[in-house]
Structures are given as C-alpha cells and as structure tokens.
Amino acid sequence: MKVMLSKIVNKIPGLRSLKYRIFFIILAVGIVPTMFLRYAILQNYEQRAISVRISDVQAQFKILADHLITYNYLSDTSSEVVNAELAMLAELYDGRVIIIDRNCKIIKDTYAISEGKTIISEEVILGMRGQTFANYDADNRYIEVITPIVDPKASEEPEEEPEEGERPPENLAQGVMLISVSTDNIATNVDILQSQATTLQVLAMVILIVIAWALARVLVKPFERVTTAIRETKEGYNTEAISVMDYVETEHIITAFNELLGRMRVLDESRQEFVSNVSHELKTPITSMKVLADSLIAQEDVPVELYQEFMVDIADEIERENKIINDLLALVKLDKTSADMNIENINLNELIELILKRLRPIAKQRSIDVLYESAREVYAEVDEVKLTLALSNFVENAIKYNNEYGYVKVSLDADHQYATIVVEDNGIGIPEEEQEHVFERFYRVDKSHSREIGGTGLGLAIARNAILMHRGAIRIDSEEGAGTQITVRIPLIFVSK
C-alpha cells in the first residue's frame, strides 16, 4: 500500500519536489477540514431551523386546536375569531391549513379549494387517533404537520371504561388539522449562508495558498543552500568544509559530505604522494645506471674488468627496476574490487607448506631455520594466488629482516569461523612508532638496509590489500631487537560484498 502510494506520488512530476509536497500538504490540511466544517455547519443549521419551525408550528396549532373546540368550530365554521386566527397563522407561516372533521370531511381549507371533500389518508387516520406528527419534504421545501383536534374534557373523562381486552375507542380526536408550511425562507437563509461561506472559503484559500507557498519556499531553502554549497565545492569556488546548519537533517547531509570531502582529500594527497614516490623509486635505479654508464663513457681505454664490474652493477639496477615495476603492478591489481577474486576451497596447510618450500633456500643462505606448526587441517575459501602473495611477503620479510642463525616460525590454526596464521621471527624487529606505518606503500624502516636486501617498500602494502580483499585482518606485534609476529585472520567462508 505504502509502496504503491509512493509509486503513484513519484509518477506525478511536481510531487517529486519537496517544495510542492509541502505546499500541497499545507493546502490539503487547511482546506479539507474547512470543507467538512462548512458542510456540517450548513447541514446542522438547516436541520435545526426545520425542527424549530416544526415545534413552533405544532405549538401554535395546538392552541388553535383548543380554540376550535372552544368555539365548536367543527360543527359551525362561521366563527370570525377562529377564521381570523386561521387566516393569520396561514399568512404567518406562508402555508395552507385544512381542517377535517370526525367524518374525514374537509370543513375548512385556507386555500378554499378542497372544502366539502372527503379525505382519507394514513396520516389523517393516525391524526384521528390522537397522534401528532410532522414530515419534512426537502425536495418540495415544505413541512407537513398533522395536529389532532382533541376535546380536553372528552379525553379526560372517558364515557365508559374500556373492558379488558377490548380495543380503545377508534377516534380520540374530534377532527384533524393538516398544515403545510413552506420552508422557502429557511432555504433562502441556507442559500445566503452558503454563498457567504463560499466567499469566506475562497478568501481563506487564497490566503492559504500564499502562506503555503511562502512556507514551502522557506522550508526548502536550507536544502537549496546545501546544493549550492556542494556545487560550489564541486566547481572549486570553495575549498573549505561547508556549513549549512539550519536543520538537523541538513547538518547530517553536510557532515556526511564534509567527511566524504575529507576522505577524498586524504585520498588525493596519498595519490599524489604515491605518484611522487613511484617516480622517485623508479628514477633511483635509472640514475645509478646513468652514473655507471657515464663514467664508462668518460674514460678512455677502460679495462675489460671494469666494464664487466660496471655491467654487473647495471644489471642489478635493471633487476631492481624490474622488481619495483612488478610490485607496482601487483599492487594495482590488488586495488580492484572483490569481483576479481578467484575463490576456491583450498587446503591452507598445503598452501603454506608450498610457500615455505620455495623460501627455505633463501633462509638457508643465512642459516635461518624455517619451522611450520599446524594445529589441524584447515580448508578455506580463498584466492590462492593472492593469499600466497601475501603470506610469501610476510615470510620473506621474516627471513630478510632476521639475523644469521635466527628462526622463522609459521603456525596455522582455525576455529569454526576463521583461520589464523602467525608468522613469527626473532629478527631485528620494528620500533613501536614505526609499526603503524610499515603497511604504507614505499615505507621502509631503514631505507638503506631494505634497499640493500632488495626491498621495494611495497611488500606489506600488497600483503595488506590481499588480506583485506579476503575480509581478513592483520595484527603486528614487534619489539625492536627481539623479533616480529604477524597474525593474519581470514574467514573460512568467503563473503563477497
């Protein structure tokens, strides 16, 4: 129901605007009740006027009925007093009075049309039985009142007690008065009231439209200010954080926008820093090569040994350049979304063993022990290539930043939700203040040492991205001079966002 309503509302072009919605809501809230009120008041007025008229007529004609008895009008219609009273009442109520005797014969008609005729209708019969009642004919605009003409004495002292079970006397009344009263003046009053109400309503509507429009504009203004402020920021006129604090809602939008802006600035700064770092890192080997080549060119009769020595250096620099480019490409690949993940259910024990097998020869060169400890067999939904890349980097670092005869210990465990891999070494460790930075791109604790051992500063950044793509987490615990422990936790079931 709600969905359907919002679908319909959204289809009407104007109603998609908050301004128009506020306008129409205020208008509806103002107008609909006044319309109901107007209808109710007029209806009530008409009903009340009719019922007052009916009781008025009934009271007047009750008195007349008494006079009819007093003057014995039913037997003799010549009484001037009664006739004058009749004429006056007929005139007063703009109506017609018909007096019917006990035999249902019309003895008097103020219109003088039906005198002498006999009238038998349901109303007359009921009237004869002493009932008073009234009908309102709204279409023809008149009230019909039936008033019985009852002799008070006759009704007070019945001639004989009706016997048990016997029906009461048929006719209580001596006769019946049929009165038709025009309600034209009530209708006229209603018409006048109606036209006044219409005028008032039109006036109220005009005022309401003006107020609703003004209010809608004022209420929507802060949102327009938000749009302007955001647009100015987008177009570069404004570089500061913006502020439109009129409503809690606009404040929320602005806060969210400023946060986004801040994030974008940080991203932009880090991008710039990255680009400058990349160019610097790529330039270093090239500069070295240029220096080596230049010195060879500058010398005459260079001995072959020197040529060879310099060429070996140049080849090293080329290899380094190649490594940086490869790492950069790996990093760029890992910046993509999880849609690029090639997820398979992999035995992590086998995966780790393979990594260690590949890296053991390097460790052996420096007599570093590589140990592996697995608590259980662990299967996890992972991207084999990416996870291998990450774990290789951790183990490689543990070997690279280790002392001769040191050790590297890798352990694997899992609970029902996560696999936990710990890479531990007793190497040189990382000073505490540096620990939070080591995952940044190109960050190296000891630049020259890292360079010496062939580091690019990208290894941990790559590893971190790869773990985050698995919705995993990394923890680093390290003590300078004592060793480092990297704990990786990844979910056993891969959840793509």
446 interacts with ligand ADP by CB under 6 A: yes
Contacting residue, 143, 398, 419, 469, with ligand ADP by CB under 6 A: 398
Minimum separation from the CB atom of position 443 to ligand ADP (A): 6
Contacting residue, 397, 420, 426, 465, with ligand ADP by CB under 6 A: 397
Residue 372: partners with Cβ closer than 8 Å, 6 or more residues away: 352, 353, 356, 409, 410, 411, 412
The two structure tokens encoding residue 135: 């009908």
Ranges of H-type helices in 71-148: 80-92, 122-128
425 interacts with ligand ADP by CB under 6 A: yes
- Give dist(CA 167, CA 165) in Å, integer: 6
Helix (H) or strand (E) holding 2: helix 2-11
Positive or negative torsion for Cα 334, 335, 336, 338? positive
Strands 473-479 and 418-425: unpaired
Q: x/- contact string, 55-94, with ligand ADP (CB under 6 A)?
A: ----------------------------------------
Q: Which stretch binds ligand ADP (CB under 6 A): 169-177, 271-279, 287-295, 450-458?
A: 450-458
HSE, side-chain direction, 13 A CA sphere, residue 332: 10
- Give dist(CA 132, CA 289) in Å, integer: 126
484 interacts with ligand ADP by CB under 6 A: yes
Complex with ligand ADP: residue 96 or 444, whichever CB lies closer: 444
97 interacts with ligand ADP by CB under 6 A: no
426 interacts with ligand ADP by CB under 6 A: no
Complex with ligand ADP: residue 309 or 335, whichever CB lies closer: 335
Contacting residue, 459, 469, 489, 490, with ligand ADP by CB under 6 A: 459
Complex with ligand ADP: residue 175 or 459, whichever CB lies closer: 459
∠ CA 29-34-35 to the nearest 5 degrees? Answer: 105
Matching residue, tokens 């008195």: 63
Length of the chain: 497
Contacting residue, 65, 391, 430, 474, with ligand ADP by CB under 6 A: 430
- Give dist(CA 61, CA 78) in Å, integer: 19
Minimum separation from the CB atom of position 496 to ligand ADP (A): 27
465 interacts with ligand ADP by CB under 6 A: no
Interface residues with ligand ADP (CB under 6 A) are: 393, 397-398, 401, 425, 427-430, 438, 443-446, 450, 455-461, 484
